[in-house]
């Protein structure tokens, strides 16, 4: 069900025209910062992939992909991507990139089953990136290192916008804090995962929660994660599990935790088998992507997605993602936004 939160007394700091210009500034600046920070080359990406080969992102395994038949290919079905989580790993393998180098791309997706609210849209735009690793780098220490690099890009972008729009003052802390989903659950067992996120995001300003997808002490995962791209089951060597996580900041406009990115070290053949077994979907082993991975034909990588509209929404202090992208919304939500001075594009 669609839900809208209207911040009391909300007033957009920028006009629609200023917002459109600032969106371009943020996107141009951040992608260059990301590219140079992580040694990423820009590549062109697909909007759709063949159905039934295991290449699309399955998200939580229940969301329906938008599909269509191709007339000139005997009605062969294609799917609009949910994200490029698995496609990128095939791409960097084909490019034969060396460890320490990778790719990024503009990913555009349609998620028809998304519950529409202030931060969720049918239209998803993000920078999808993938970095080739040496096998010895499959560690939580490498994960932290890359997260810190991405956070530096966020900090630079925040100053860049402030330098041009002084009304938007910087609020990100100097450093990002790392916490394990397992430790959060143990410390706050009575709280829901979202309540735990709100608590630590407000406390620290910016956090990276490690271990998204693996069952916690209460038998539930902190949040959903597909079994076939991020590694959320491998032990980290310090009593925890998971080589992936979410980058979350505190959003003072919406007064809640605000996810900007999801990322992780990708599954190895062994962790893929483990996670497919945990999720009771070992039949996927026969699919194109999974069979290549299990045979050792894909490079070891880490990667993730960084929401473009969310990033703009955060840096421009917007109350609704529709203020930084064009999509469609329920009529009642459009009217509520209009009444509250939230200017949907």
* Residues belonging to the active site: 57, 111, 126, 246, 259, 262
Tell me the β-bridge partners of 26: none
The rounded distance, in Å, linking the Cα atoms of 58 and 226 is 6
Instruction: Name the burial class of residue 150, with classes exposed (0-12), middle (13-18) and buried (19+) by CB atoms within 10 angstroms of its CB.
Output: buried
| Closest C-alpha to 325, from 106, 152, 162 | 106
């Amino acid at each position: 069900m669609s839900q809208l939160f209207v911040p009391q007394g909300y007033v957009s700091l920028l006009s629609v025209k200023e917002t459109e210009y600032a969106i371009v500034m943020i996107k141009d600046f951040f992608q260059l910062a990301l590219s140079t920070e992580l040694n990423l080359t820009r590549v062109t990406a697909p909007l759709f992939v063949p159905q039934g080969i295991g290449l699309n992102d399955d998200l939580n395994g229940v969301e329906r992909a938008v599909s269509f038949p191709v007339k000139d290919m005997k009605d062969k079905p294609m799917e609009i991507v949910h994200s490029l989580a698995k496609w990128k790993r095939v791409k960097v393998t084909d490019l034969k990139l060396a460890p320490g180098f990778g790719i990024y791309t503009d990913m555009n997706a349609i998620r028809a089953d998304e519950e529409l609210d202030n931060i969720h849209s049918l239209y998803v735009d993000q920078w999808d990136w993938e970095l080739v690793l040496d096998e010895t780098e499959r560690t939580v220490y490498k994960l932290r290192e890359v997260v810190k690099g991405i956070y530096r890009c966020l900090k630079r972008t925040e100053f860049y916008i402030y330098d041009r729009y002084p009304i938007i003052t910087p609020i990100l802390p100097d450093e990002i804090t790392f916490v394990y989903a397992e430790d959060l659950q143990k410390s706050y067992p009575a709280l829901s995962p979202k309540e735990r996120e709100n608590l630590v995001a407000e406390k620290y300003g910016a956090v990276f929660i490690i271990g998204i997808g693996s069952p916690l002490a209460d038998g539930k995962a902190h949040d959903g994660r597909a079994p076939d791209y991020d590694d959320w089951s491998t032990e980290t060597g310090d009593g925890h599990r998971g080589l992936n996580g979410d980058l979350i900041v505190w959003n003072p406009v919406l007064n809640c935790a605000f996810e900007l990115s999801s990322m992780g070290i990708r599954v190895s053949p062994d962790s893929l088998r483990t996670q497919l077994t945990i999720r009771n979907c070992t039949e996927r082993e026969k699919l194109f992507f999974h069979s290549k991975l299990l045979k050792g034909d894909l490079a070891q990588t880490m990667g993730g997605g960084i929401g473009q509209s969310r990033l703009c929404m955060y840096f421009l202090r917007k109350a609704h993602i529709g203020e930084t992208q064009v999509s469609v919304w329920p009529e009642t939500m459009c009217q509520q936004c209009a009444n509250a001075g939230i200017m949907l594009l």
